[in-house]
Structure 1
Amino acid sequence: MAGRIRRHWKRWLIAGVVTVAVLTTAGPYLYINYIQDEPPAALSLDSPPSASDTSSGNSSGSGEQASGSVEGAWRVGSGSQAGYRVDEVLFGQNVTAVGRTEEVTGDLEIEGDSAVSGTITVDLASVESDSAERDGQFRGRIMNTEQFPAATFELTEPADFGSAPAVNEQVTAEATGDLTIHGETNSVTFELTAQRTADGFRTNGSIPLTFADYGIDAPNFGGITVEDEGSIEFLLTFTSA
């Protein structure tokens, strides 16, 4: 009798271990591939204006034709977005994490066909993804937004676009400046694309980011392993200052 009980107990124990193993491997797979939404597409000038951008009167449609010159002072307007994109491994499954905010401010000075100065500031504490747990880790031990609440980019060299585009036309330039995150500053260079609108312009770009360069520990937690590199993406709407 006792032997039969031990054998049954062993069977139940083995079955329990197998069940846990299946749930551990199959659960994340099913969630990621069949339940979780696809990550947002990368920000681009093909992205439609957000609701706040449209309501403020900014549009990338043809509308009233803008004048030829874009010289002067400009400021970041409503509908602008910035955030991060990074690859993760969630319990053995590859996923892409995306967090964004519209809490972006800044200014830009244009002389001729070049942006000669400018500063962009992003409120990191307002960045949100599709996971409250990830957002808590981002604001807490990863970015420590209480001590370092903002990320800033300051243009240090003129970005020459070559010409003032017509409405809806896109032009590109190489932008170089100082990126400050988590209390650390590094010089970065990346491609910047601009598109003329009826009453201003929009700019878009992506800045590669290596966490160690900014004193950020590898943000791994709770079965999630994060790559050592990611990117900052932005889509900014500028209106006349």
Structure 2
Amino acid sequence: MSRRWKLIIGVVVLAAVAVVGGPWVYINFVREPAADSFVSEATTTSTDSATAAQSVVPTPVLSDATGTWNVVAESQVGYRVNEVLFGQRVTAVGRTSGVTGSVTIADLTVADAEFTADLTTVKSDDPRRDAQFEGRIMDVLNYPTAGFVLTSPITIDPTALAGTVTHQASGSLTLRGVTKPVSVTIVSTVRDSEILLAGEVAVVFADWSIPNPSLPGISTEDSGVLEFQLVLSR
């Protein structure tokens, strides 16, 4: 084999190593791990608290939850999508604190709930991903918000006033101008005088007319997760 061909082959091999090895090094040694899901954080906190309390009987933090509870600071809404970046699996997470809304509770029934998220402020750890999200994927210029409206009342377990409880909620979710019915598992936690709601909804992109986020060198599944952490105060 001539020296020239050896040089060409060497360059090709080095390029291949850079394409495959570069992303591997970045993902495993440079890039920060994806944040835990809000539901995972809520259930982990609940388990830790229960372990610490051991056999202590909890006392209600809220004697009465009746009233209108508004979304306050610390609330976040975002997405979680599994990606394959040049052969390396990663989880992409984008979030925003631009959330408004309220929950109306009468006795032990959630009568109304409505939330709106500002999609123009969603950010991930990659500006290039954010540009795709704002433009081709979610088209925030024409569809700047996402929204959820509760469509069926929720009966609250009395134990929810004392700690962490899981609820099922039915509502309508609007993304990219398309509204669909959804079922949401919500983990509620009472913290001092506030209520924390953590939940997630599986979103099949095609159902909401969302283009698949895949790009050359980056592929995604045909679905993702919309996740939220809402902090409510009266």
Asked whether the two chains share a fold, i.e. TM above 0.5, the reply is: yes
Where 1:133 maps in the other structure, the secondary structure is helix
Give the direction of change, closer, same or farther, for the CA distance of 1:92–1:239 in structure 2 (3 Å limit).
Answer: same
**Aligned counterparts of 1:191 and 1:165: Cα–Cα separation in 2:** 14
Which secondary structure state, in structure 1, belongs to the residue aligned with residue 229 of structure 2? strand
Tell me by how many angstroms 1:81 deviates. Answer: 0.9
Contact 2:75 2:99 survives alignment (8 Å): yes
Cα RMSD for the two superposed structures: 1.7
**1:91-120 Cα distance to aligned partner (Å, 9 max, x none):** 011100001111110011112212111111
Letter of the 1:68 counterpart: S
Q: Percent identity?
A: 36
Partner residue of 2:203?
Answer: 209
- Unaligned stretches of 5+ in structure 1? 1-5, 49-64
Question: Of residues 84, 88, 92 in structure 2, which corresponds to 1:89?
Answer: 84
1:27 pairs with one of 2, 14, 22: 22
Q: Does the aligned pair in 1 maintain the 2:104–2:111 contact within 8 Å?
A: yes
Amino acid at match of 1:194: S
Q: Is the 8 A contact 2:61 2:161 kept in 1?
A: yes
Q: Confirm or deny: 8 A CA contact 1:113 1:164 kept in the other structure.
A: no
1:47-104 CA-partner distances (Å, limit 9, x unpaired): 88xxxxxxxxxxxxxxxx8441101111101110110011000001110000111111
Note if contact 1:194-1:201 (Cα within 8 Å) is conserved in structure 2. yes
Name the counterpart of 1:196: 190
- 1:46 CA displacement: 5.8
Could you tell me which residue of structure 1 aligns to residue 227 of structure 2? 233
Q: Deviations over 1:98-151 (max 9, x none)?
A: 011111100111122121111111111111111010011000100000000011
Contact 1:114 1:162 (8 Å CA) reproduced: no
CA distance in 2: counterparts of 1:195 and 1:98, whole angstroms: 23
Match 2:42 to one of 42, 45, 51: 45
Matches within 5 A, 1:1-241: 7-43=2-38, 44-45=41-42, 66-163=61-158, 165-167=160-162, 169-240=163-234
More helix, by proportion: 2
Secondary structure at the aligned position of 1:209 is classed as strand
Does the 8 Å CA contact 1:74/1:239 hold for their aligned counterparts? yes
TM-score norm. by structure 2 comes to 0.88
Secondary structure of the corresponding residue to residue 232 of structure 1: strand
Higher Rg of the two aligned structures: 1
State how far apart, in whole Å, the 2-side matches of 1:224 and 1:206 are: 24
The 3 A distance-change label for structure 1 pair 151 and 211 is same
